[in-house]
Structure 1
Amino acid sequence: MADAASFPPATVLVADDDADIRDLIVGQLRQENYRLLAAANLADLRQTLRDEAVDLIVLDLNLPDGDGLSLCRELRAEGSDVQIIMVTARGSAIDRVLGLELGADDYLTKPFEPRELLVRIRNLLRRARNGPAARTGAMRYAHIGPWRVDLVQRRLVAPDDRLVMLSSAEFRLLSRFIDEPNVVLDRETLLPERRATAAFDRSIDLQISRLRHKLSSLPGGEDLILTVRGEGYVLACSVDHS
């Protein structure tokens, strides 16, 4: 695994139509030595993504010319692996789950403490740079039960080469299980970027359920992820890479 110092500064794009909020976030992030970009609407954001290599987007859900949810869906459909933190005034569990299922990596509700945003950005960037694909080098696939997990394209591959796409939330969870097979992982470990509230965040249950449903579409995939009552979840199999 490469040392953090060997990586160039991460590029963070802040997209919010409120200039005061946008400037506040950019100001807070300057101390982290990130390369910072800003956009006031989806048109500017899309142009920036065409012109620049962006590592993470702090994305307001409601922009004057479109919906952040739609942008997430578009980016993931295009195969983009840019990290996305949604920031919105909405706070319901349904909104959180929808954002995560459509491709957001994390979700923060206004008003929020700037320090909390800094921690979440740091965690997501660290995870992206030190995740399964980075650690396995040229090895693209993780083998679990009857499945191959494509660590580059974020999808499941059946023995007959049938493809099953994973949402960003599903891939994030599966990656953490792949990191530590046969180890019981609690909610805080599975959702480190939301450690303070993970114990009460029920959206993870829905994400686990959807991931299990996809894994169980092949014989031998039904019992790959088990619940350990009162403790968490476990990937109950060995993991090989190729």
Structure 2
Amino acid sequence: MLDSIPARPATVLVVDDDADIRDLIIGQLHQENYRLLAAASLADLRRTLKEEAVDLIVLDLNLPDGDGLMLCRELRAEGTEVQIIMVTARGSAIDRVLGLELGADDYLTKPFEPRELLVRIRNLLRRGRNEPAARPAAARFTRFGPWRLDLQQRRLVAPDDSLVMLSSAEFRLLSRFIEEPNVVLSRETLVPERRATAAFDRSIDLQVSRLRQKLATVPGGDELILTVRGEGYVLASAVEQL
């Protein structure tokens, strides 16, 4: 009998122009048995992504050759599915929501507790490895209310076939609603990787609000996602696979 092949260790790329911070993060991650890479700039990051299969990026926003926010948006536009945790000294809710809308999977403000970063990395990598394989072409679209969701291109299709683009965070959020329509979902259920802080994380509410705004651009779309006070949110619609 052949021995089973063990899963390869996850590859984590730490991007920060401060060598002390890079070394601190890498030192904390060594105990997790990850394969660790480092970069000091956006140019280093792009070069590494061309040469290596990276599972998760710990990305500082303020880099000497550009803004990590714009780099995140570019990676998502290119179809890169690598998990991204943004780490920054910017602590406002607007910056957090902007980072998540541009495709980050999580957002951590400096200074942070190293153990919190470890937990968030574990949760994201676990989620990424546990996500089901992409649906077959026969189930490319899901219909709910007046909208269709293109599961391959990750965009909304209106009744007149016009397109509305979704950020990575919006697509994940809407996909979670579609998995359990007409069921009240708590913040912890909607964003499980931030379960520890979801109860008081207002950025989740802002993400839902922005998704609602996009759905409300066609008649009948303004009442699809409802708030259940004290419990969470619900997609009030039947869902049909096309």
| Counterpart residue type for residue 70 of structure 2 | S
1:8/1:177 CA distance change after superposition, 3 Å: farther
Structure whose CA Rg is larger:
2
Summarize the alignment of residues 104-183 of structure 1 with structure 2, pairs less than 5 Å apart: 104-131=104-131, 134=133, 136=135, 139-183=139-183
Post-superposition CA distance 1:39-65 (Å, at most 9, x none):
011110011112222221110111122
Structure 1 residue 211 corresponds to structure 2 residue 226: no
Show the counterpart of 2:185: 185
Aligned: 1:41 with 2:48: no
With normalisation by structure 2, the TM-score equals 0.87
Q: Tell me how far 1:164 sits from its aligned partner.
A: 1.1
What is the identity, as a one-letter code, of the residue corresponding to 1:134?
A
Q: Which moved more, 1:144-153 or 1:181-190?
A: 144-153
| Alignment-mate amino acid for residue 24 of structure 2 | L
Structure 1 CA distance, aligned partners of 2:212 and 2:6?
37
Deviation at 1:195, TM superposition (A): 2.2
Aligned CA RMSD, in angstroms, stands at: 2.2
Q: Percent identity?
A: 82
What is the TM-score with the length of structure 1 in the denominator? 0.87
Q: Identify the residue that residue 32 of structure 1 maps to in structure 2.
A: 32
2-structure distance, mates of 1:140, 1:31: 41
CA distance in 2, matches of 1:209, 1:229: 15
Residue number in structure 2 paired with 1:195:
195
User: How big is the shift at 1:137?
Assistant: 5.3
Offset of residue 225 of structure 1: 0.8
Q: Which is worse superposed, 83-92 or 214-223? A: 214-223
Q: CA deviation at 1:159?
A: 4.3
Of 20-29 and 136-145, more deviation after overlay is shown by 136-145
Aligned to 1:229: 229
Matches within 5 A, 1:77-116: 77-116=77-116
C-alpha deviation, 1:67, in angstroms? 1.0
Distance 2:33 2:106 in 1: 21
